[in-house]
Chain A
Amino acid sequence: MIQINNISKSFSEKKVLDDISFTFETGKINMIIGESGSGKTTLLKCMVGLNEIDTGEVLFDGRNFFALDFNGKKEIRKEIGMLFQGGALFDSQTVEENVTFPLTMFTDLSMQEKQERANFCLKRVNLENANDLYPSELSGGMKKRVAIARSISVQPKYLFCDEPNSGLDPKTSIVIDNLIKEITEEYNIITIVITHDMNSVIEIGDNIMFIYKGKKYWEGNKRDILKTENKELCDFVYATKFMKELKSKF
């Protein structure tokens, strides 16, 4: 389980996260939702240590990340898989080299073993026969799938996804969502997904936290979210005229 307690973060004078606490459960897809600029990505970056926090704590199965020394943090980071918004694949490496990169850095596996693991991970994300392609030769959806394959190559305990569906068509978005769901259940890992795509929330969200202007405004599950009376959340969920009409009918 990952627990965040009373996290606050400011950039210069501007407070972007204000006293946020939440518990992310194992084997479930935990979603952080909110409009653009609400602080979702900052929160995720704080959780993985890319941003320092001003106050609060992040506990990875009881281990306080920010209280650890460099090596302690490194050990936790080896258990983290992260899917970045743009994929963040290494341009100079092929798909296979990207997937085997964490294995090359942290294990003593032979070339053949690494290749087998890469093939397994690429097959898992339905991307066979792409081993020798470079990221510039891949579509947006393929890049995301390679990034997922890279994240799972080291069998992480924690999977962080920053807007996995951004820039993808609805059909590809569903493929990525289902992949994240399957992987979470298969490996029984803690998955944290940042999104503002309500289709994803309804499709795969187990636990949901809604952030508004840097504060946690609401938490619950996908059934609760449709019945909520929270004004800010309703404005977010039922943003379109069509959705508002739909809500009024039920």
Chain B
Amino acid sequence: MQLFYHFGQYFILIYRTFSKPEKLSIFRKRIFEEINLLGIGSLGIVAIISIFMGAVITIQSSSNFESPLIPVYAVGVAVRDSMILEFSPTIVSLILAGKIGSSISSEIGTMRVTEQIDALEVMGINSAAYLIQPKIISAFFFNPILVIYSMFLGVFGGYVFGIATGVVTDYQYTLGITYMFKPYYVTYALIKTAVFAFIITSVSSYHGYYTKGGALEVGRSSTKAVVYSSVLILLFNFLLTQLLLI
């Protein structure tokens, strides 16, 4: 029964969230604030993770491709396809679920327990639309940019560490990353990322928005937001892969 209750509450909140914004100029300003906070603020962590993911895939692939029948440029193919298909959209989204999910949930949760959301409602402002809608929209459009950035850095990281460790040459790696490239893989990754962005922002907002109690509950909401977002990302990763790749 609890599951149905939460489903109902979640969809009511989403319905309220996507009503017409109070004032377009404020809405625009809020979107840019959120892009700065949730998107630009995540560039650093995404860069570090992507470069090292690319480097590790390069070294692991080369150590596993022991057969002389497998050409060395396959390392480049492995790095490119792993980054585009899975590591950049899914792993980066899981990292973002931890970073921006907990941030969203604790921000909205604190606003709830300190009556700031009530203050918005009493003023006649739709608090869900004012607080949540800009977060969802900014992540929906900016997270795919973050993922493209991650793909490039992952492939670049693989290149730098591959050359530095001597497991692959410049020519072999470049040949690998351009060999039989399927642009549809990028489309698939971007679709996944947009869905994951919606999951992260809406689920985290939901947990923050319905926080009851005090500081302890804000912390619990934040944890729940990260856990549920991560589980849903994994579930939808499977469903979208079934739908889009097979």
- With contact pairs A104-B26, A105-B23 given, residues A48 and B122 touching in the complex (Cβ less than 8 Å): yes
B170 within 8 A of A: no
Chain B residues 12-65 with CB under 8 Å of chain A are 22-23, 26
Chain A residues 217-250 with CB under 8 Å of chain B are none
Determine how close the nearest CB of chain B comes to the CB of A211; give it in whole angstroms: 20
Q: Which secondary structure characterizes the binding site on chain A?
A: mixed
Residues of B within 8 A of A50 (CB): 118, 121-122
Residues of B within 8 A of A82 (CB): 119, 122
B124 within 8 A of A: yes
Write the A71-102 contact mask toward B (1 if CB under 8 angstroms, else 0).
Answer: 00111011010101110111100000000011
Residues of A within 8 A of B111 (CB): 91
Residues of A within 8 A of B110 (CB): 91
| Chain A, interface residues (CB within 8 Å), range | 20 to 34
Q: Which of B115, B116, B125 contacts A105 (CB 8 A)?
A: B125
Determine how close the nearest CB of chain B comes to the CB of A93; give it in whole angstroms: 10
Determine how close the nearest CB of chain B comes to the CB of A19; give it in whole angstroms: 25
Closest residue to A48 on the B side, CB-wise? B122
Q: Which of B114, B119, B121, B123 contacts A78 (CB 8 A)?
A: B123
Q: Which of A78, A86, A88, A90 contacts B124 (CB 8 A)?
A: A78
Residues of A within 8 A of B121 (CB): 49-50, 77
Residues of B within 8 A of A75 (CB): 124
- Complex CA distance for A168 and B152, rounded to whole angstroms: 57
Say yes or no: A106 contacts B116, CB within 8 Å: no
Residues of B within 8 A of A89 (CB): 116
- With contact pairs A84-B115, A86-B115, A88-B115 given, residues A105 and B122 touching in the complex (Cβ less than 8 Å): no
Residues of B within 8 A of A45 (CB): 118
Determine how close the nearest CB of chain A comes to the CB of B16; give it in whole angstroms: 10
Chain A residues 187-223 with CB under 8 Å of chain B are none
Say yes or no: B116 contacts A88, CB within 8 Å: yes
Say yes or no: B123 contacts A102, CB within 8 Å: yes
Residues of B within 8 A of A84 (CB): 115, 118-119
- Complex CA distance for A113 and B119, rounded to whole angstroms: 23
Q: Which of B22, B116, B118 contacts A90 (CB 8 A)?
A: B116
Say yes or no: B23 contacts A85, CB within 8 Å: no
Residues of B within 8 A of A48 (CB): 122
Say yes or no: A105 contacts B26, CB within 8 Å: yes
| Highest count of chain A CB atoms <10 Å: which of B23, B115, B116, B122 | B122
Determine how close the nearest CB of chain B comes to the CB of A146; give it in whole angstroms: 12
Residues of B within 8 A of A102 (CB): 123
- Complex CA distance for A89 and B110, rounded to whole angstroms: 12
Determine how close the nearest CB of chain A comes to the CB of B35; give it in whole angstroms: 16
Residues of B within 8 A of A80 (CB): 122-124
Chain A residues 7-60 with CB under 8 Å of chain B are 45, 48-50
- Complex CA distance for A105 and B127, rounded to whole angstroms: 12
- Complex CA distance for A59 and B178, rounded to whole angstroms: 71
Say yes or no: A88 contacts B26, CB within 8 Å: no
Determine how close the nearest CB of chain A comes to the CB of B33; give it in whole angstroms: 9
- Complex CA distance for A75 and B23, rounded to whole angstroms: 15
Residues of B within 8 A of A49 (CB): 121-122
| Highest count of chain A CB atoms <10 Å: which of B22, B26, B124 | B124
Say yes or no: B123 contacts A77, CB within 8 Å: yes
Residues of A within 8 A of B22 (CB): 105
Write the B119-152 contact mask toward A (1 if CB under 8 angstroms, else 0).
Answer: 1011111000000000000000000000000000
Chain A residues 97-128 with CB under 8 Å of chain B are 101-102, 104-106
Determine how close the nearest CB of chain B comes to the CB of A80; give it in whole angstroms: 6
Residues of A within 8 A of B23 (CB): 104-105
Residues on A lying within 8 angstroms of B by beta carbon are: 45, 48-50, 73-75, 77-78, 80, 82, 84-86, 88-91, 101-102, 104-106, 160
The 8 closest A-B pairs by CB, nearest first: A77-B124, A88-B119, A88-B115, A74-B124, A84-B115, A82-B122, A78-B124, A88-B116
**What would 23 A/B residue contacts be, using CB atoms closer than 8 Å?**
A45-B118, A48-B122, A49-B122, A50-B118, A50-B122, A73-B124, A74-B124, A77-B121, A77-B122, A77-B123, A80-B124, A84-B118, A84-B119, A88-B114, A88-B116, A88-B119, A90-B116, A91-B116, A101-B123, A104-B23, A104-B26, A105-B23, A106-B123
- Known pairs A85-B115, A105-B123 / 11 extra A-B pairs, C-beta < 8 Å: A74-B124, A77-B121, A80-B122, A80-B123, A82-B122, A88-B116, A88-B118, A89-B116, A90-B116, A105-B125, A106-B124
Residues on B lying within 8 angstroms of A by beta carbon are: 22-23, 26, 110-111, 114-116, 118-119, 121-125
